[in-house]
Amino acid sequence: MKSLSLTARLSLLISTTVLLVMILTGMALYQSLAQQISVRDDAALLNRMDQIRTLLLNEDVLELIHTKPRLFANMLGNTESLLVLRFPGQPPLIEVNPGKATIPDIPAVPAQQPLALKNVRHELARDGTPFISASALAKTRNGPGEVEIITGRLMTERTSTLAGYRHQMLLLIIVATAIAALSVAFLTRRGLRPLHRLAQETAAIDVRHLAWRIRLHHVPRALLALVAAFNQMLDRLETSFQQLSQVSADMAHDLRTPIANLLGQTEVALTQNRSLKYYETLLGSNFEELLRLSRMIDSMLFLAQAQDASQAIHCEHVNLVTVLPPLADYFKGPAEERQLTVVYPTEGTLWADGDLLRRVLANLLANAIRFAQSGSTIRVIVQTQREGVTLSVENHGDTIAAAQQARIFDRFYRVDASRHDSATGSGLGLSIVRSIMQLHHGHCAVKSQDRLTRFTLFFPSPETP
């Protein structure tokens, strides 16, 4: 079954709420009206009995009955009332009962006692119509004793009034619910127009139009935060797609060169028979190209794994004495070829993964040796603070422009493409440095001015949240 739209859901929910409120309100009003009518009818019945009491006290009851028998019928006012006057235990002196109602057998209120609403008896007639009655004794002026007054009334008018009220209330509830449903549907549809416009603008954004943004001038205040967050997400997506496109282009360029070399050299070798030495040289050249391709693939795989948030590293307190001297020995040959000196501290401890620490320092040292000025000094500096440890690798050489410093850690980005040697680098070394620092919840930075370039790594202490 197809799910209901938001407009239909809101209309159904609010209409149901209005219906329930109207029903409860109608029931409360009905009960209040019924109670007020009942009190009014009871008071009218008692008031009539008080009038008869007063009449009997001031007139000769027997003479009234004989001379003015219709007086008592006129006091009742309609054909649904009952009046019986009698001496207790004797036949009625007068009985006005046009409706042939059963004379109730109820205790009489003493003559000296005032009448109260509690003295009215409520019951149902044979046809189910409410019937109220009361009985009281009254003193007479010249009579032989007290007269018992029994009066009652069939509440047909009350029943009809309440039935009409119920019908009107039911009609009102139906009409009010229908009006509420239509109004809510109209207002909800009107209120959701910004969401429909937002959906249309969002649907128009695809890979070819990532630069589009949702306009804010027609967005309600309640949706501004949502739209702003969505536009920020589009900014990040656009940046990611641009970086992905750039990485793909750079990767294709870097892979094309060694593959073209392999194809060209192999094609030339296959044109005619060659000497054994030629084939050995060709295999050696192919091996270098394949080795470079293998290193590039390994680096890409490492970067992909490093971006996985679930990638676990094994940090421990690493003594730099066990890391820096072996690395200096490893790079001693390339450094001596360019008359470079590598200076490093002989003490220091930081919280890191030992293997990843060696890799990040090896990348920075290799980068420094490649671009340092011949005959200069490469320094490794350690600074320990309470928040963590800062490692810096600095070398003298060409200054890196500020615009290039902002992108130097991007994949396949090279500061100077003319200085790039495809056999020695892939443009991924500094990207690996940044990924390793992210795994350590640290950060990396570069600063280059006055022909001095410094790469800085910050490793937070284990106590730093």
Tokens of 191: 């209120």
For 193-222, what is each residue's pLDDT tens digit?
877 777 787 887 777 777 778 777 777 777
pLDDT band at 279 (very low <50, low <70, confident <90, very high): confident
Q: What dihedral angle (degrees, nearest 10) is formed by the CA atoms of 399, 401, 406, 410?
A: -70
Confidence class of residue 452 from pLDDT cuts 50, 70 and 90? very high
Of the candidates 81, 93, 80, 89, the one whose C-alpha atom is nearest the C-alpha of residue 108 is 89
Instruction: Identify the CA nearest to 205 among candidates 228, 237, 239.
Output: 237
Q: What are the tens digits of pLDDT across the range 374-393?
A: 999 999 999 998 889 999 99
Rounded Cα distance, 97 and 131, in Å: 13
Which tokens belong to 375?
A: 């005959």
CA 290 to CA 313: how far, in whole Å? 30
What is the per-residue DSSP string for 3-50? PPPHHHHHHHHHHHHHHHHHHHHHHHHHHHHHHHHHHHHHHHHHHHHH
Helix (H, G, I), strand (E, B) or coil at 413: coil
Per the CB < 8 A criterion, the answer to whether 408 and 415 are in contact is yes
What is the C-alpha to C-alpha distance for residues 191 and 219, in angstroms, rounded to an integer? 11
For the entire predicted model, the pTM comes to 0.49
Digit-coded pLDDT (tens) for 123-180: 888 888 888 899 999 887 766 678 888 888 888 888 888 899 999 999 999 998 888 8
* pLDDT tens per residue, range 291-320: 878 877 776 676 666 665 456 678 899 999
> Which residues in the chain are classed under CATH 1.10.287?
221-304
Distance, in Å, from the CA atom of 272 to the CA atom of 274, rounded to the nearest integer, reads 6
CATH architecture of the region 221-304: Orthogonal Bundle (1.10)
Domain 312-460: assigned CATH number = 3.30.565.10
Residue 109 CA from chain centroid, whole number: 69
Q: Give span(s): CATH 3.30.450, the chain.
A: 6-171
CATH number of the domain at 6-171, please?
A: 3.30.450
Least Cα distance to 381 among 320, 312, 427 occurs for 320
The ranges of the chain annotated as CATH 3.30.565.10 are 312-460
